[in-house]
Amino acid sequence: MLEEVAVVQPTDYASLPELKEIKELKEFIQSDTHLYMMFNQMFVGNDDLPLAPNWLQESPTYLEIDNSPTLILTHAMNSHAGFSAFLNKELNAYFRRLFDRWGVYLTTPASANVLTAEKGGWFSPPALKVMMEHFAGLTFDEVFVCDPAPTRYACWDDFFTRKLRPGVRTVDEPENPDIISAACESQCYNIATNVKERDAFWLKGQSYSLRDMLAHDEYVPRFVDGTVCQNYLRVTGYHRWHAPTDGVVKKIVPVAGTYFCQSPAMLDSPLSMGEPFDTRPIFQSLPFFAMVNARMLMFIEADDPRIGLYCFIAIGMQEISTAEPTVKVGQKVKRGEELGTFHFGGSTDVLVLRPETKIEFLVKPGDAVRVRGALARVIS
């Protein structure tokens, strides 16, 4: 029985001094009058960011812990004070330092302590059930490249960026030039057409603003009145991205942005932490994240002139601070080949197409999307 299994225990770092990245962040908040006021409002008189000194040397467990730093900041970002503070560029630079330090820890053998079958472990029965939901009839070891049990991976990051075994999630209709493949294993969130160069994306609704989403890039005019398809990747899923078409990588643009800034249209919404994730304000803020979050733009020129130039955008959410490309500018890619990977948690991706690219989508919002599966069909 699950209740009889031991709970994954975090490593004891209580004897360590507070890590310098957390100390520097707290000092920065206290030195800035505006941030000092906002954090006092967010945390009811506590001007400190309530992060445990050992947080950057802890691996995430499968179970959500109510007092974890990410969940604490999730509550804060749902407030007007949080919205005002978390847009601050300097503050986000300090957050980036935190996540970089955490990322180093998550590549160490010590970070594999949660890769167990114990309660809260990533190979516990509830975790495996969720991870294998869309791989009917197959085991984890049959789907993913891994070492023999029990831990299967040398560190947490190896587990999170795990690769599919050959023959799993093959390219749909590989000989059909009309098919655009899904870049990620995900859930279709939204499809928008006639997308404007500039739009009021901070208002309630599902609008996109190309100039903001594409970080004022020189290619923006080529996508005005085009199409956007946004998908959502769960923390329990597969996090590598794959080429939607044959083509050449024209440009890769990392964009600095926010990590904990929620859409202002969703502020003060019920968090519904015990309800499905789809009901939470953070999920309803996914279009907003496409314009403001830390992200990576990858412009690809498809071999098929009917598709032409398009942009794949990898967008981090909250503690996701790293979107790592595994291809280079000028590289030729085949449909289904790997483009890159996320690190450390849930995320979202966007496909941006030109107005000249006429397509019929083969998925709709709410559908499960298989990586390398048929996402859309080009209309001649």
DSSP run (H or E) holding 72:
helix 69-77
Instruction: Give how far Cα 65 sits from Cα of 6, 10, 69, 272, Å.
Output: 16, 12, 9, 15
Model pLDDT, residue 65:
44
How many alpha carbons lie under 13 Å from residue 120 in its C-beta half-sphere?
14
Instruction: Give how far Cα 49 sits from Cα of 40, 57, 82, 210, Å.
Output: 9, 17, 12, 34
Model pLDDT, residue 13:
40
Q: Is 99 helix (H, G, I), strand (E, B) or coil?
A: helix
Contacts of 252 (CB under 8 A, 6+ apart): 296, 297, 298, 299, 325, 327, 328, 329
Tally of CB atoms within 10 A around 139: 10
Model pLDDT, residue 2:
29
Q: Is 306 helix (H, G, I), strand (E, B) or coil?
A: coil
Model pLDDT, residue 277:
56
Asked if 86 and 132 touch (Cβ cutoff 8 Å), the reply is no
* Domains with residue ranges and CATH for the chain: 9-160 (no CATH), 179-378 (2.70.70)
Which residue, chain included where needed, has tokens 């869309």?
Answer: 134
Asked if 111 and 155 touch (Cβ cutoff 8 Å), the reply is yes
Separation of alpha carbons 116 and 8, rounded Å: 8
Here the tokens at position 241 are 């991205």
Model pLDDT, residue 72:
72
What residues form DSSP beta bridges with 180? 376
pLDDT (tens place) for every residue of the chain, 380 residues total: 223 333 344 444 444 456 788 889 889 999 999 999 999 888 875 555 666 556 778 888 887 544 456 667 777 888 899 999 999 999 999 988 888 888 889 999 999 999 999 988 999 999 999 999 999 889 999 999 999 888 899 999 999 999 999 999 999 999 999 999 999 999 999 999 999 999 988 888 779 999 999 999 999 999 999 999 999 998 889 999 999 999 999 999 999 999 888 888 888 777 665 555 566 777 888 999 999 999 999 999 999 999 999 999 999 887 666 789 999 999 999 999 999 999 876 689 999 999 999 999 999 999 999 999 999 999 98
Contacts of 148 (CB under 8 A, 6+ apart): none
Which residue, chain included where needed, has tokens 């225990």?
Answer: 9
Characterize 187-221 residue by residue with b for buried, 16 or more Cβ atoms within 10 angstroms of its Cβ, and e for exposed.
bbbbbbeebeeebebbeeebbbbbbbbbbebebbe
